[in-house]
A and B are shown apart, each in its own frame.
Chain A
Amino acid sequence: MNRLTTFIYSRKAAPWVFLAPFLILFLVFKVFPVVLAVLMSFQKIQGINTGEFNGVANYEALASNVRFGVALRNTTLYTVGTLIVLIPIPLIIAVLLDSGRVVKATVFRTILFLPALTSLVVVGTVFRAVLNPTGLLNSAIEQVGAQPQRWLEVAELAIPSLILLAAWRWTGINIIYFSSGLVNISKEIYEAAAIDGANAFQMFWRITLPLLRPTTLFVVILTIIGGFQVFVEPYILYPGGQSPGDGGLSLAYLIYRTAFNSFNLGSAAAMGVVLALIIFILSLIQFRFFGAFQREG
């Protein structure tokens, strides 16, 4: 055996050799850009081959940046909206599908998952048609006697429209998460509860919900991260992503515009760092709230 094979077969080196492909890609394409972005956020970069350190000026400017404020508010509203819609509804549907009382549950599961597989260009086109003044949604609203709305033309209706789109797109995926969590709950617990005389609601409230906690934590955090990073939904729903009156302006979209349209890379990097911090802090709170830091037992 030569030295190379000795090295590869050694107990210390082998794990690193196996991990190397991932680690190298991770360092080059994830860690390095993040470090670079943090560095850029302290620089004034407006144009090719420009760049000088300007301290925290980019961060100070954010405080008085009107559009950043609007984007932060919109993104927060959107995240709260998706949390309200995308946790309970998929949870309830998953429990129903899992209960064995639904005929052809697999068919429903497949149908509900289909939106996640649909091409985004198609989704954008279809939803623009659905939300059109004479579109499907308004027809349905008129059927129940309510006032039709100009969904895509009024700033205040942008976030509801985006939440609607997100609900359609992500419900199926969250159902899958909850379903896999439900599989792990032993049926014997339910049987025991039934013998004790518990009704369906009590079983859901006292058994399903508490035992699903790790899954729920996971889905909540994913939804929060997805909510704060929202980019694709406004981009496909509005031409070029530009919503009327900035009603659908999201943080990620503003970062993109600041970098690639205004060519203000320093400011865009600063926004990115702030966004990362928000997500980091919210995730920490979540972990604490759900007790993920407590030792088992």
Chain B
Amino acid sequence: MLKRTAALSLFLVVVLGVLAMAPVVGAQDATELSFWTFVPAHQTFWEDSAARWNEANPDRQITLNATTSEYQAMHDNLLAALLSGVGAPDLVDIEIAKFPTFMKGEIQLYDLTDVVAPYSDVLLQTRLAPYQKDGAQYGIDYHVGTFVMYYNKDVMDAAGVDIDSIRTWDDYVEAGKQVTADTNGDGEIDRWMTHIETADRFSALALQLMNGGGIYDADGNFILTSQENIDAVQFVKDMIYDSQIASLTPGTGNHDQAFYDAMVQGMFGSVWMPQWYMIRFSQLMTDLDGKILVRPMPVFEEGGYTSTMGGGTGTAITLQIAPEKLQLAMDFMAFTKLERDATIRIWTDLGFDPLRTDIYDDPALAAPLEYFGNESVFTTIKELQSNLAVEYLGPLYADAVDVLRSQTYYEIFANNADVATALQAAADQVEQAAQ
């Protein structure tokens, strides 16, 4: 008898405990929305937005269950969840190089064309393109990712180069010859104009796009072996083997600690990367505080493309969302990604260049930044967006990026392989893999 009483009391304690731990549900019965991302800052951004949404919409409350996991794992889990038909979140961040994977077969994402439509006048249309398929919009990016040139002021000054006189790529190479030097006389060059990645895509792909190349064109043709691509990659290669103003990137990519160390030590005068790379400088290369100046990308010819876009993350809504939540999720997406106030926060909170062009003159964006020479960096970025080369995606994009990063660029830049042959080999491999 005693045993039974004890068991019953234990049961009651457990039940009460579980009840006590359950979340207190608000008076309005907030709707739960789940969100996956691989960037902690994005999670914070969406949670802040949910708080503002709840203030503004007392009758449509949201409880946002946001989760950040590692890049590969998150995309793998998403793919597995969409394949199996259960377990996917309502809203999800999909990185640009992964996006085409989710565009294959029956697309498991909602068409967001109607979400974007009211804002189409103020959005940079060229940045919507990567996330479209057959005219439908499946993702909305955080930023444009405009490519800019980051100069180390100390290094350029020591070499006697006026960075504002560099306008074309030819100017850049000429200036590079002045910068590249063996400063301590040990017979080895210790100061380079720049460096070229051998296991990542930013160094070469930026020039490919600015030269009218890329992996896909606007009509969805696979153009990896186009003359524009060959010329651009050859131009980059010549920086290493002809004019010899560039070394190979220490650590093989611009996101490697070995590169950060070399950059901080003043080994390089410049590096071109998308605008979002600014936070890598301010957070990971703190010793360069005040020394990095952001300038426009050099152009191939006057009137040509002023810059291009690199990287990106599109937020999407999966088909697994409960139908009654769909409209709320779409409205919340617009509120977080497209409303004027929200896009200003993309710059102030996340440090990204937003897609919305009518805010480019807002004082919040024009404010000078101490780390970057106390200059108004956004003024430079704004100028560049007049004629951006667009990056188009297609079904073979992910494979192409994979092969370029892991084989082709290494063969060309590190092993001095012939550009046309190497690009042809890459294209053959990518096309063959898709058979």
Residues of A within 8 A of B (CB): 46-50, 57, 61, 64-67, 128-129, 132-134, 152-155, 238-240, 242-246, 249, 257-258, 260-264, 267
Q: Which of B257, B407, B432 lies in contact with A132, CB distance below 8 A?
A: B257
Tell me, in angstroms, the Cα distance from A249 to B429 when the chains sit together: 15
Assess A246 versus B406: contact at CB under 8 Å? Given A50-B104, A261-B98, A264-B434. Answer: yes
Q: Which residues of B contact A67 (CB under 8 A)?
A: 403, 407, 429, 433
Beta-carbon contact of A262 and B433 below 8 Å: yes
Contact mask for chain B residues 277-316; partner A; CB cutoff 8 A; 1 contact, 0 none: 0000000000000000000000000000000000000000
Q: Which residue of A lies closest to B197 (CB)?
A: A244
Min CB gap B86→A, angstroms: 13
Q: Which of A46, A129, A132, A245 lies in contact with B414, CB distance below 8 A?
A: A245
Q: Which 9 A-B pairs have the closest CB atoms?
A: A47-B105, A47-B104, A245-B410, A48-B105, A50-B105, A244-B199, A49-B106, A263-B101, A262-B399
Beta-carbon contact of B406 and A153 below 8 Å: no
Does residue B393 face the partner (Cβ distance < 8 Å to A)?
Answer: no
Beta-carbon contact of A261 and B83 below 8 Å: no
Q: Which residues of B contact A61 (CB under 8 A)?
A: 432-433, 435
Does residue B252 face the partner (Cβ distance < 8 Å to A)?
Answer: yes
Q: Which residue of B lies closest to A129 (CB)?
A: B257
Q: Which residues of B contact A65 (CB under 8 A)?
A: 429, 432-433
Min CB gap A234→B, angstroms: 11
Assess A132 versus B258: contact at CB under 8 Å? Given A152-B252, A153-B248, A262-B402. Answer: yes
Beta-carbon contact of A153 and B252 below 8 Å: yes
Beta-carbon contact of B106 and A47 below 8 Å: yes
Q: Which of B106, B253, B255, B398 lies in contact with A262, CB distance below 8 A?
A: B398
Q: Which residues of A contact B250 (CB under 8 A)?
A: 133, 153
**Contacts beyond the supplied A153-B414, A239-B255, A242-B402: 17 A-B pairs with Cβ under 8 Å:** A50-B104, A50-B105, A65-B433, A128-B257, A152-B252, A153-B248, A153-B251, A153-B252, A155-B414, A238-B199, A239-B256, A244-B252, A245-B199, A258-B433, A261-B101, A262-B398, A263-B101
Q: Which of B104, B257, B406, B435 lies in contact with A245, CB distance below 8 A?
A: B406
Does residue B47 face the partner (Cβ distance < 8 Å to A)?
Answer: no
Q: Which of B106, B402, B410, B425 lies in contact with A257, CB distance below 8 A?
A: B402
Does residue B72 face the partner (Cβ distance < 8 Å to A)?
Answer: yes
Beta-carbon contact of A64 and B255 below 8 Å: no
Beta-carbon contact of A245 and B98 below 8 Å: no
10 A-B pairs within 8 Å (CB atoms) are namely A47-B106, A48-B107, A67-B407, A67-B429, A133-B250, A238-B199, A244-B406, A245-B410, A246-B406, A262-B433
Q: Which residues of A contact B433 (CB under 8 A)?
A: 61, 65, 67, 258, 262, 264, 267
Does residue B37 face the partner (Cβ distance < 8 Å to A)?
Answer: no
Q: Which residue of A lies closest to B199 (CB)?
A: A244
Beta-carbon contact of A64 and B432 below 8 Å: yes
Min CB gap A251→B, angstroms: 15
Interface segment among B74-82, B157-165, B219-227: the answer is B74-82
Does residue B198 face the partner (Cβ distance < 8 Å to A)?
Answer: yes
Min CB gap B186→A, angstroms: 15
Q: Which residues of B contact A128 (CB under 8 A)?
A: 257
Tell me, in angstroms, the Cα distance from A245 to B398 when the chains sit together: 17
Min CB gap B132→A, angstroms: 17
Tell me, in angstroms, the Cα distance from A260 to B83 when the chains sit together: 11
From residue 380 to 435 of chain B, which have CB atoms closer than 8 A to chain A?
398-399, 402-403, 405-407, 410-411, 414-415, 425, 429, 432-435
Tell me, in angstroms, the Cα distance from A244 to B414 when the chains sit together: 9
Assess A260 versus B76: contact at CB under 8 Å? Given A46-B105, A132-B257, A133-B258. Answer: yes
Min CB gap B286→A, angstroms: 19
Q: Which residues of A contact B106 (CB under 8 A)?
A: 47-50
Q: Which residues of B contact A245 (CB under 8 A)?
A: 198-199, 406-407, 410-411, 414-415
Name the residue in B98, B108, B256, B406 with the highest tally of chain A Cβ atoms < 10 Å from its Cβ: B406
Tell me, in angstroms, the Cα distance from A244 to B435 when the chains sit together: 26
From residue 243 to 280 of chain B, which have CB atoms closer than 8 A to chain A?
248, 250-253, 255-258, 261
Assess A153 versus B435: contact at CB under 8 Å? Given A244-B252, A245-B406. Answer: no
Min CB gap A168→B, angstroms: 20
Beta-carbon contact of A261 and B402 below 8 Å: yes
Min CB gap A295→B, angstroms: 47
